[in-house]
Chain A
């Protein structure tokens, strides 16, 4: 009997052991394996830096620097402090007397942490604002900033979560300073931050990088937006087996999925020319009391954009602190009526069609013209009996242009406007390009034909205008404007070749227009500014433009867009440039504002390129 009982006990024990083993080996197999792997296998993200954007001389315009995103662990604070409190250990709590209950104890720690972190980040922000020459801050502003930071952190710490992002990226030195404070519940994730050695230079051209709704870095506007796919890298993962000390096991599991760095963009933008354009525009916007200013410089033979600058601008690192309208690139996204700068294109079309010649005399230009009940006048209300087409360009005579426009007719005018690229995107490699629509050809009336001949009643973007005029500088060939010259991925290099869109004008036509534009500079209203800037010996072809801005269905004579488009040296153009001021206050005319800036920039470019004067 006793033997039987022992046998039963023995078999029962064996059964229990087998059952337990069955549970471990079969039923709980997956969860136990996961638990074990979770203890010894560590997965780590390998950050892939965003690709750099380089100037044509390969210096950095936008790069990446290692950074750390800060996060909080509110639930871990609760658990750890509760444990410490229960154990009666001394905590690093800086508050005075220990609280009576655990809830207060944790709350006090979180309050203290919010205060310390708030103070730290508020100070960092203020330092940054002051270093970038931002507005002078009062004590009230500082207190408000501190309070805002504290409240924000406190709100995040009150969440019942293990991980809460602070949405902040800091550099290594800031991280080290924070680590020195030895704050419990604050952690860092490795990431990268955009780095701009030239500060806010070329901000409109670059665009900026910010997090999207999923917390992923995305490029917005400009190059960052257009080439986001190329610039963003692919994050890798490292799976490694570690021992109890957290050290890697040599013969353990080691899997690596390499991070793929973002591609590097090499631009056509010349750092020196960009700097010159920005400096001169900054001076000009102050001097002419303009609301905005922009300049674009291009190589007319290849379509390579050498510089692109606009003001007011913003700091791409703190883009969201600026009004949204600052983010748009005025050169590619703003439409305006080009005014007299458009005349060279209309005249080019009329000459190309053999309808007029530079010497053709206008027989209706001795006074104002009346068309469909509207009166067309010249800008200074002065008229010439024997006005030649060349004079119409030199003195920017609207009546002479109406004469040429009428000769062209709606059909041909429309054809040339579309051939020059208006009404379509130029396909410049920037994200925020837009094209103002052209009115349907069938809806054009006589007055539309007349006003468009001198650049009113038609909207263009600065990039469209410079691309169109560059065809005159390039023997009639219209080139696609290009910012990027090379895309590099390790050893692989993809070169962007110049692209011819179409041939709009005959070469002989362009020679005639060039001659008219050279005379417009030397004998027109801007001649004094050319002399004053000291580039009299250079052959510059150009045209001023003053277009009134339509406000509530009417043109406001006091609000204009003043511009100047030109290229030099006229016989063998090395660059074409468009300078544009939005609502200049000192003078409404392009000849008094945009033209001097054009000549000042041109002078510096001549020196930079080492181009001697022709005379």
Chain B
């Protein structure tokens, strides 16, 4: 036959566990709600960040395109010809080609 204290313990145990479960669930719920609020808060502020990152990317790409085209413009032969003429450069009128001497060609033999 079980004694009185043992009976009382067996009656108390489920109640003890029930309370623990309830507390656990409540804690999880609080954590989940906090997490949800935190994530919602973070994601709402991220939208602005994404927007600003997108804007930066767009302006950088735009600038890149312009710079690439500016380089091409500065490399333009028509433009450079005009510039060099203004700077006093002129075309070479007569080019003299020097025939390589056979002695010079064979110099490594000596």
Interface residues of A (CB under 8 A from B): 59-60, 63-66, 172, 195, 197-199, 201, 242-243, 245, 247-251, 271-272, 275, 534, 607, 612-613
Contact = CB atoms under 8 A, between A and B. Distances in A.
Contacts of B92: 607
Interface in B76-103: 76-78, 81, 92-95, 97
18 contacts: A60-B69, A60-B72, A65-B65, A172-B62, A172-B66, A195-B72, A197-B69, A197-B76, A199-B76, A247-B48, A249-B43, A250-B43, A275-B78, A534-B93, A534-B94, A607-B95, A612-B97, A613-B97
Contacts of A198: 76-78
B72 A63 contact: yes
A103 B69 CA distance: 47
Interface in B31-69: 43-44, 46-48, 50-51, 54, 62, 65-66, 68-69
Sort A-B residue pairs by CB-CB distance and give the 8 closest, nearest first.
A247-B47, A612-B97, A197-B72, A250-B43, A60-B72, A250-B46, A275-B77, A197-B76
Contact of B66 (A59, A66, A271): A66
B36 to A, nearest CB: 12
A468 B79 CA distance: 36
A296 B69 CA distance: 28
B28 to A, nearest CB: 22
Contacts of B50: 247-248, 250
B94 to A, nearest CB: 7
B97 A243 contact: no
A64 B65 CA distance: 8
A398 B48 CA distance: 83
Contacts of B77: 198, 271-272, 275
Interface of B: 43-44, 46-48, 50-51, 54, 62, 65-66, 68-69, 72-73, 75-78, 81, 92-95, 97
A197 B75 contact: yes
Contacts of A613: 97
A12 B19 CA distance: 44
A249 B42 CA distance: 11
Given A59-B72, A249-B47, 13 more contacts: A60-B69, A60-B72, A63-B72, A66-B62, A195-B69, A197-B73, A197-B75, A201-B78, A242-B47, A247-B51, A248-B54, A249-B43, A607-B95
Contact of B78 (A66, A172, A195, A199): A199
A205 to B, nearest CB: 15
A251 B78 contact: no
Contacts of B94: 534
B60 to A, nearest CB: 12
Contacts of B62: 66, 172
Nearest to A534: B94
A249 B72 CA distance: 40
Nearest to B64: A66
B13 to A, nearest CB: 44
Contacts of A59: 72, 75
B46 to A, nearest CB: 4
B66 A65 contact: yes
A174 to B, nearest CB: 13
Contacts of A63: 68-69, 72
Contacts of A249: 43, 47
A248 B72 contact: no
Contacts of B66: 65-66, 172
Nearest to A195: B69
